[in-house]
Amino acid sequence: MFYFFIFLIGLSIGSFFNVIIFRFGTENSAIEGRSKCLNCNSIIKWFDLIPIFSYFVLRGRCRKCKVKISPLYPVVELTTASALLLFFLNTSSVSYSTAINAFIILILTLIIFIDIRYLIISDKILVLLAVAAIGLKLLADNADFYWLLISAFGLTSFFAILYIISKGRWIGLGDIKLIFFIGFLLGYPMGYLAVVTAVWLGAIFSIMLLLANKATAKTEIPFGSFLSTATIIFIIFNNEFQEISKYFI
């Protein structure tokens, strides 16, 4: 029942994330106003806002104008719930650190989908991530802020050089900020391994797009989404990766 409750919470948070994502960059507040159809502007009834369920009951269309609803809605809800559930399934105990890690996973999930949709990583969201990361390290008994900052700057320096050389064409400034926080959050070697994993995920995704003629060499990809995905994986399976890394580092 506990895990079922966690999954339901994840679905609800994912539903709220959809509001943030689809109102991002508009004048509409993410916490005020009723949800409306993006096509006909009709107010959506509460029973059409049930995560996952309502999308399939409506067959992916607005009840009033019958225009297709973006499949991103259920994907965001299911991804958020699954990430949260996996984290708690792989957590032996619940503490303040557990809660902060769960919050960080949720923030990273939001970054994934905002970057996919807009190719932007919001500074406001990064501030939340920074506060959570600092809070997590303050709770840790063995946190070495000096070493964590060195790890973060060391990891960021290479990508900062790429940004300067390419004048922002190869990597975005938001990606570099996110890499810094990943380095601070995970430290060495986990932060470095997470970023390398993200690079490989991005490379494989790009190659697949090129082979399918869905992109060119100049097509931008949401690298922040791959960085966030890799970081979520390393947070959830941190103990397993720590054991594996001992054989290589």
Other beta carbons less than 10 A from residue 102's beta carbon: 22
The domain spans of the chain are 1-89, 96-249
Convert the pLDDT of each residue in 102-160 to its tens digit. 999 999 999 999 999 999 999 999 999 999 999 998 888 777 888 899 989 999 999 99
Distance (Å) of CA 181 to CA 46, 102, 207, 227? 38, 16, 27, 11
Q: Would the CA dihedral through 118, 159, 197, 186 be positive or negative?
A: negative
Q: What residue type is 78 in one-letter code? A: L
Convert the pLDDT of each residue in 52-103 to its tens digit. 888 888 888 888 888 888 889 999 999 999 999 999 999 878 888 999 999 9
Find the mean pLDDT for residues 198-227: 89
Other beta carbons less than 10 A from residue 30's beta carbon: 14
Q: Tokens at residue 122, please?
A: 């919001």
**Is pLDDT of 248 > 70?**
no
pLDDT score, position 129: 93
Q: Which of 83, 22, 81 is nearest to 52 (CA)?
A: 81
